[in-house]
Amino acid sequence: MASKNTVLPQKSQWKSKDKIRIPKKLKLTLVGSIVPLVLLVAWQVMSVIGVFESHLLPAPTQVLERIGSLVADGSLWGHIGVTLYRIFIGFGIGVACAVIAGSVVGYLKTAELLVDPLIQGFRSIPSLAWVPLFILWMGIGEPSKITLIAVGVFFPVYLNIVSGIQGVDRKLIEVGKIYNFTPLQMVKRIILPASLPSFFTGVRSGLGLGWMFVVAAELMGASKGIGYLLVVGQNTYSPDLVLASIVMIAIFGKLTDSVLKGFEVRALHWQDNFGKQN
Amino acid sequence: MLSLKNVSRTFNGGLAGFQNISLQSKKGEVIGLLGTSGCGKSTLLRVISGLDPDYSGAVEIDQEKIKAVHEKVGIIFQEPRLMPWLNVIDNIGFGVKQKTDKLSEAKAYIDLVGLAGSEKLYPKDLSGGMAQRVSIARALITNPEVLLLDEPFSALDAFTKMQLQDLLLNIWNQYRSSIFLVTHDIDEALYLCDRIFILRGQPGEVYKELTVDVQKPRTRGDEELAKMKGQILELLDLSKSEKGNQNEHNKVASK
Ligand SMILES: Nc1ncnc2c1ncn2[C@@H]1O[C@H](COP(=O)(O)OP(=O)(O)O)[C@@H](O)[C@H]1O
Ligand SMILES: [Mg+2]
């Protein structure tokens, strides 16, 4: 009873603190954008007065114009659509394989002994080294691109799932033992939720690698996609197109990551993290 | 009820753990296990709970030998060990098998441990005392006949500690389950227990058995209890440090 009474006023105190914090957050984003803005303005000025030659480094406004024209003639959405499609499929396959392999290896000691050394060995091969083989096997069509992305996504997700499962607090496992949980209940009710944080860490870094590999895959031969735009930009001597593509990659990489982050925040709202406090 | 016959569990080639412990609990009795740190108290509770099956001797509940976790046993650890992703009410219902009456049962226990109104809080928002209340409710919800507590209040401040000791006494009054309370707090043992076993040594052995013949609820400053406290202190620390000194003297002498 006494504890109930003391909790309520405390809560309202926190709320009022939160209200003060929101402008603070805004201030932080403002502070964070000072340097980029200054650089952007400097870049623009240098371009206008001719320090940067526009056939090598076009002004920000030119890059924006280029994006505008891509939007206007409607081709941008097609390229972005193809790239997003590739990344989603490859990412999905990579994550699915990693979840299955990671869960089995993390949970079963024998599976770990049998499979983990092999996977660790494969991990030390840079994924791009597989490209020639994939092309030999599957041609330069979609399958080889998607496989490359899936391979890139697989490793961070796999490693994080394994370490997440193996890092589950033994003390929590014992609570399950006290209630005579079956292995399945143990996985569902303790191990899975407890390893969720590291799963999200893995998935988010997997997505980052996915973007890296989708660009690599499209650079090595494609007729559509943002990576293809990069190649076109290079071949037609138009740095504005290259920069426009890079800006698009940055925007969509950030967007897809914040979608994942949204899921993460919602699924892990119970976590007591330093990062969440401010 | 619960009986231990010559139970031993040792580690490090017989240098740690406990050995040769025999005792019998009566129904509804509160037994205290008192001893300095490292004399095998937690190990003993783990053996009784069935978490550690590698012991020698016999642990029986109602003449039934246990080799795995028994459903008549509930345990409350030193740390609350709550699932951080579950709120208070789901944590309390964690061990309930049937989904249907999980919530209503959990509600009943929430009132019992005085957490009404905090059902939806997550462990990160709980104070140490509140978290331990949740873990008490979680252990009680399966109606254990034997309740094991491993220094359950040692991480709490003095006032919260006293509140929870009274809560435990209340619960014991209602359910009359047998309780094994491991503690290194002499006052706590004297306030709550009917019998106190004093463990000593490495590996730990029962050094002395004391019966506390004072009607419960007891007053904390009771004279009889104060006298017993002196007696226990003598049995535990003083004689031990003397012995330690003697050992050191011996070592020096043998050099
Ligand atoms: N699983 C284990 N393996 C090896 N040694 C252990 C194990 N569990 C406990 N011990 C040792 O047994 C001794 C008694 O531990 P414990 O029962 O936790 O003591 P207490 O709870 O009385 O403080 C300690 O010295 C500890 O290191
Ligand atoms: Mg202990």
- Look at B81 and A171 and tell me if their CB atoms are within 8 Å: yes
Residues on chain B touching A193 (C-beta within 8 angstroms): 83, 85
Cα dist from A199 to A173, A176, A237, A267, whole Å: 19, 21, 43, 11
pLDDT at A277 over 70: no
Nearest CA in chain A to B111: A1
Question: How much is the average pLDDT of A248-271?
Answer: 93
- Look at A3 and B94 and tell me if their CB atoms are within 8 Å: no
Q: Let me know the angle formed at the C-alpha of A119 by A115 and A120, rounded to the nearest 5 degrees.
A: 115
Nearest CA in chain A to B73: A178
pLDDT at A21: 56
- Look at B114 and A3 and tell me if their CB atoms are within 8 Å: yes
Residue from B52, B71, B83, B149 whose CB has the most chain A CBs within 10 Å, to mutate: B83
- Look at A175 and B83 and tell me if their CB atoms are within 8 Å: yes
Residue nearest to atom 5 of ligand 1 (CA): B11
pLDDT at A79: 94
- Look at B129 and A3 and tell me if their CB atoms are within 8 Å: yes
Residues on chain B touching A270 (C-beta within 8 angstroms): 84-86, 122-124
Distance from CA of A4 to the nearest CA of B (A): 7
pLDDT at B38: 87
Tokens of A218: 């499209």
**Least confident segment among A8-12, A256-260, B231-235:** A8-12
Report how far residue A232's alpha carbon sits from residue A249's, in angstroms, rounded to the nearest whole number.
15
Torsion A38-A44-A45-A50 (CA) sign: positive
Number of H helices, E strands in chain B: 8, 10
CB-based contact (8 Å) between B69 and chain A? Answer: yes
Report how far residue A253's alpha carbon sits from residue B95's, in angstroms, rounded to the nearest whole number.
43
**Contact indicator for B92, A175 with CB cutoff of 8 Å:** no
Report chain A's mean pLDDT, rounded to a whole number: 87
pLDDT at A8: 45
Ligand at minimal distance from the CA of B204 is 1
pLDDT at A194 over 60: yes
pLDDT at A7 over 80: no
Residues on chain A touching B74 (C-beta within 8 angstroms): 178
pLDDT at B96: 87
Option in B85, B114, B122 nearest A1 (CB): B114
Structural domain boundaries, residue B51: 2-253
Indicate whether residue B212 lines ligand 1 (CB < 6 A).
Answer: no
Tell me which architecture the domain covering A81-226 has in CATH. Orthogonal Bundle (1.10)
Residues on chain A touching B73 (C-beta within 8 angstroms): 178
- Look at B123 and A7 and tell me if their CB atoms are within 8 Å: no
CB-based contact (8 Å) between A15 and chain B? Answer: no
Identity (one letter) of the amino acid at A213?
A: F
pLDDT at A162: 94
Cα A130 off chain centre by: 22
- pLDDT per residue over A78-104, tens digit each? 999 999 999 999 999 999 999 999 989
The 3-state DSSP composition of chain A as helix, strand, coil percent (nearest 5) reads: 85, 0, 15
What one-character-per-residue DSSP string does A138-206 give? HTTSHHHHHHHHHHHHHHHHHHHHHHHHHTS-HHHHHHHHHTT--HHHHIIIIIHHHHHHHHHHHHHHH
pLDDT at A246: 94
How close is the Cα of B36 to the center of ligand 1, in Å? 12
pLDDT at A188 over 70: yes
- CATH number for the domain spanning B210: value is 3.40.50.300
How close is the Cα of B17 to the center of ligand 1, in Å? 6
**Contact indicator for A91, A206 with CB cutoff of 8 Å:** yes
pLDDT at A54: 83
Q: What DSSP designation does B125 have?
A: G
Residues on chain B touching A268 (C-beta within 8 angstroms): 85
The model's pTM: 0.80
Q: Let me know the angle formed at the C-alpha of A268 by A266 and A274, rounded to the nearest 5 degrees.
A: 115
pLDDT at B134: 96
DSSP reduced 3-state for A239: helix
pLDDT at B236: 79
Distance from CA of A8 to the nearest CA of B (A): 10
- Look at A270 and B123 and tell me if their CB atoms are within 8 Å: yes
Neighbours of A222 (CB within 10 A): 22
pLDDT at B70: 84
Tokens of A98: 């990693």
Indicate whether residue B37 lines ligand 1 (CB < 6 A).
Answer: yes
**Least confident segment among A149-153, A255-259, B12-16:** B12-16
pLDDT in tens, chain B (255 residues): 889 999 999 998 888 999 999 999 998 999 999 988 889 999 999 999 999 989 999 999 888 888 788 888 999 999 999 999 999 999 999 988 877 777 888 888 999 899 999 999 999 999 999 999 999 999 999 889 999 999 999 999 999 999 999 999 999 999 899 999 999 899 999 999 999 999 988 888 999 999 999 898 899 988 999 999 988 888 876 544 444 444 444 444 443
Option in B69, B114, B129 nearest A178 (CB): B69
Report how far residue A156's alpha carbon sits from residue A206's, in angstroms, rounded to the nearest whole number.
6
pLDDT at A9 over 90: no
Q: What DSSP designation does A126 have?
A: -
Question: How much is the average pLDDT of A175-203?
Answer: 93
pLDDT at B238: 52
CB-based contact (8 Å) between B35 and chain A? Answer: no
| Number of domains present in the structure of chain B | 1
The 3-state DSSP composition of chain B as helix, strand, coil percent (nearest 5) reads: 40, 25, 35
pLDDT at A5 over 50: no
pLDDT at A276: 55
Identity (one letter) of the amino acid at B110?
A: I
